[in-house]
C-alpha cells in the first residue's frame, strides 16, 4: 500500500460519512479527531508501560503484551488515517511528497544519512 492510495480511498470513504464532503468539518475538527485517536494511542501505550512495570491493568486485553501492542498499533493507524483526512481538508493532494520532504529535511538537519 502506498500513502497516496490510502489517501484517495480514505477520502472516498469519509465522503460516505460526510455527504457534503470534507468541508463539512473544519480543519480544526479533523485535527481534533486526529488528536483524539493519538490520545487513545497514548492511553494504550500507558497500559504497556504498566505491564513492563509489573502493574495490573483492568481489562484482560491489557494484561497480554501482544494484545496491548496491537491495540497501540490500531490507535496509531486511526491517528494516521485522520491525519491524512486533515491534510486533504487543508488542500494537500500529494501527502507522500509532504511526508518525504519533512522526513528528509529532518535527516539533513540532524546529519542522518537515511532518506526516502
- What is the structure's pLDDT at 64? 80
Mind listing the pLDDT tens digit for each residue in 49-67? 988 888 776 666 667 888 8
Domain 3-110 carries which CATH code? Answer: 1.10.287
Burial of residue 37 (CB within 10 Å: 0-12, 13-18, 19+) is buried
pTM (global) more than 0.75? yes
Helix ranges (H only) for the chain are 3-17, 27-52, 65-89, 95-110
What separation in angstroms does the CA of 19 have from each of 15, 23, 29, 70? 5, 10, 16, 32
Amino acid at each position: 500500500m502506498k500513502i497516496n492510495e490510502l489517501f484517495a480511498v480514505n477520502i472516498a470513504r469519509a465522503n460516505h460519512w460526510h455527504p457534503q464532503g470534507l468541508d463539512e468539518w473544519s480543519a480544526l475538527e479533523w485535527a481534533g479527531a486526529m488528536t483524539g485517536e493519538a490520545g487513545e494511542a497514548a492511553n494504550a501505550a500507558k497500559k504497556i508501560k504498566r505491564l513492563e512495570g509489573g502493574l495490573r491493568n483492568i481489562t484482560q486485553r491489557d494484561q497480554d503484551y501482544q494484545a496491548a501492542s496491537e491495540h497501540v498499533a490500531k490507535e496509531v493507524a486511526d491517528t494516521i488515517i485522520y491525519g491524512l483526512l486533515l491534510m486533504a481538508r487543508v488542500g494537500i493532494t500529494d501527502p507522500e511528497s509532504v511526508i518525504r520532504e519533512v522526513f528528509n529535511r529532518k535527516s539533513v538537519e540532524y546529519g542522518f544519512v537515511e532518506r526516502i
